[in-house]
Amino acid sequence: MSLQAWSKVSHYSLQGYSWVERNAPLYYSQAVDVLGPILEQVWAKSKEAAEFLCEKGSSWLTYAKDNLPLLIERLHSSIPDSVYHFIEYLKELLLLVHRTYLLPAMMYLEESIQRAWAHYVESCNGKVSLDCLKGQVSNISHSSWVYLQNATMTLKNWAMSMISQP
């Protein structure tokens, strides 16, 4: 049953890939024809908006420069010290989470991506091509399919053992 399902998945994946290979240039040119004028209008309106913001931004910056010291002075006089302590603790907590969890996770992710890319290039004998990519995607989808089957069987066996226990 699983080989039949895998062959269907492979067959339809190849059909989809060949359809994209045939039709992508056609649909791309149609998208350029349809969306080109719209994107040009969006670009023109974006330029107008940027000019407007630059004109108004200078007056806003002047207003903020004149009034910001007064606002900061008011805030300092009206906010209790406990709020400042809480903000300091929150800052330390966020820095701890950043140093302890986020940075190591990002470094691990970066190393994993580099290893995966190096493995991909190595498996393609140093030549990255569309055919090699197709082979890699096929291998990954097959491995994922096998993993899913194994996980399903394991879950089924566990459930059966739980049900059969007195």
Q: Taking the CB of residue 45, how many other CB atoms lie within 10 A of it?
A: 10
Lookup: tokens for 51: 């000019």
**Contact by Cβ (8 Å): 136, 123:** yes
**Which of 99 and 82 is assigned the larger pLDDT?**
99
Q: What is the pLDDT of residues 84-137, one digit of tens each?
A: 899 999 999 999 999 999 999 999 999 998 998 888 888 888 787 888 888 888
More confident call, 2 vs 106: 106
Q: Which 8-state DSSP code applies to residue 99?
A: I
* Strand, helix or coil for residue 79: coil
Closest by alpha carbon to 140, among 110, 121, 120? 120
Q: How far apart are CA 160 and CA 138, in angstroms?
A: 33
pTM of the predicted model as reported, rounded to 2 decimal places: 0.39
